[in-house]
Structure 1
Amino acid sequence: MNARIGVYPGTFDPVTLGHMDIIRRGAKLVDRLVIGVTTNPSKSPMFTLDERMAMVKREVADIGGEIHVVSFDSLLMDFAEREKAGVIVRGLRAVADFEYEYQMAGMNQQLNNRIETVFLMADVALQPIASRLVKEIAMFGGDIRKFVPPAVSDEVIARVNRIGRKGS
């Protein structure tokens, strides 16, 4: 029997409780979940690729199942093919996410129709969480502990303190 392999891609800058919810649930759907940490030219990351990789690896260490964290800098479908994945796992928070993800899934299907995209709705309590907003809240001195794992909160706060807070 062939193993069911899924890929969950993202920048994870930083990894949030919403990401962790999708990782936990996605890991139950496949035999092996590959978390693809990538760069996104349209985003300015707070953390380097190596820092984000280490952050995600640490946070998924206690989740059951076979989970691998790898970096990639290519088309998602090329990455998924390289990992022998049959499924792309994506999290949805709101209608705005759906429109973007629907378009991406359609384009990805045109690139490789052998790989399916599966959407998981984020837990209702976690739906508003976005890495971009976590960074913005931290930059203005707000409390981010309810949005990210404790060690990630510490890392974000340390980074903000190093680069300087806004509005101070």
Structure 2
Amino acid sequence: MIQITSPAMEPAVSLSDARTAARANGSELDSELSIMVATLTAEAEHNTGRVIIKRTYRITLDEFPAYIEMPAWPVAEVIEVNYVGADGSPATLPSGTYRLDYSKNPIRLVLVPGATWPETSGIDAVKVDVICGHGADESATPPAFKGYVLAKIREAYTPGAVESPFVSGLLNSLRVY
């Protein structure tokens, strides 16, 4: 699996909110705060198994398995499923032949009842493009993510601050198990 498009808008928390959390009065910390927001967002995504801002992934397989595990949670859309058929010609699997199974973790792409996976030919014969993420911009960021990022920034810019167990617990409700 590879990420084929980056988020259209990066951060999960605005620079203005980061400035407030750092108690910065001007833009002198903007570069540092931008890096912190990106780093803390990546940390929060890793710790929860979620993707905040939408991005596109490509899953590449040699053949169709019983099901295809999605790369991240939440899955916004399966763009398309392409494959190289047994005769060597490229094809696209009709969207009505598969669905997302949200009852498992990770989310899986499965066949609808009565459908079968086509025969494939060659290495990397199956390519699934999928969009994962909560939304297109900061407005889609769950409050617990924002709270986590902003609290970590506040701790970093508060002299003598000790990491609060409350802060690390903010992500517990968002973890994908």
Q: Same fold by TM-score, threshold 0.5 exceeded?
A: no
Structure whose residues are more often helix by fraction: 1
Give the TM-score, by structure 1 length: 0.27
TM-score w.r.t. the length of structure 2 is: 0.26
Specify the structure having the higher radius of gyration (Cα): 2
More strand by share: 2
